[in-house]
Amino acid sequence: MPRTLTTAADNALQSPNLAALFFVEFDLTSGFLRLNNSGVHITWASSLWYGVGRLGAIDAVQEGAELEARTVNFRITGIDPANISRAMGEHYQGRPVKMWLAPLDANHRVVADPVLCFHGLMDTMDIDLGQVASITASATSRLAAWDRAKVRRYNSEDQAIDYPADKGFEFVPQLVEKELRWGY
């Protein structure tokens, strides 16, 4: 994934004693869920990001030279039972997930412009209701859809999915067997 770094972020990432945190945004049907891996809530990009601290874990983001889909797992433990029922009722598959790496300055404040290090789609959500409730959400990179066929038709019904007022394909069925004469 190509990245554009600001000078401040580049300098912070070059520091020998890098302090950083992650911002993770789940775009759920019920609204955005924004988390960070610190122990405190942080306001960034005009939004409140809830701190999950030691209660959360993120798999390493894998990259490689091959063009293939990658998976990242996000785990949250110690979940309130009300949020477990909310998670069970969510339609999450295929919904966007973004994760940023946010370098911190010496005062543990976010350096301007954290780096987007993962952008993918939610795939599975495993809920464990053991001694301590936990949720593991799995997300795949957008390359997972690379080989999937996109089934679209050149007809009025299919066009209305994206453009309800467009009538450009309305008369296509009548043109299928139409004999056209040129030059008469």
pLDDT at 3: 64
Residue 179 placed within a domain: no
Query: How many structural domains are present in the chain?
Result: 1
Residue 91 placed within a domain: yes
Summarised one tens digit per residue, pLDDT across range 152-184 is: 888 889 999 989 999 989 888 888 888 888 886
Give the domain extent around 134.
Answer: 7-149
Contact 12, 104 (CB under 8 A): yes
Residue 23 placed within a domain: yes
Q: How far is CA 125 from CA 27, 88, 179, in A?
A: 14, 9, 55
pLDDT at 2: 53
DSSP states of 118-169 as a string? EEEEEEEEEEE-SSS-EEEEEEEEGGGGTTS-----SSHHHHHHH-TT--TT
Give percent of the chain above pLDDT 70. 93
Q: How confident is the model at residue 139 (pLDDT cuts 50, 70, 90)?
A: very high
Handedness of CA 119, 123, 128, 129 (dihedral sign): positive
> For residue 38, which of 19, 27, 25, 54 has the smallest C-alpha distance?
54
Which residue type sits at 78?
G
Q: Could you tell me the maximum CA-CA distance found in the chain, to the nearest angstrom?
A: 84
Average of per-residue pLDDT across 50-61: 84
Residue 1 placed within a domain: no
Report pTM.
Answer: 0.73
Q: How confident is the model at residue 144 (pLDDT cuts 50, 70, 90)?
A: low
Residue 156 placed within a domain: no
Contact 22, 36 (CB under 8 A): yes
Give the integer Cα–Cα distance in Å for 34 and 17: 27
Summarised one tens digit per residue, pLDDT across range 70-89 is: 899 999 888 777 778 878 88
> For residue 81, which of 30, 34, 130, 41 has the smallest C-alpha distance?
130
Residue 20 placed within a domain: yes
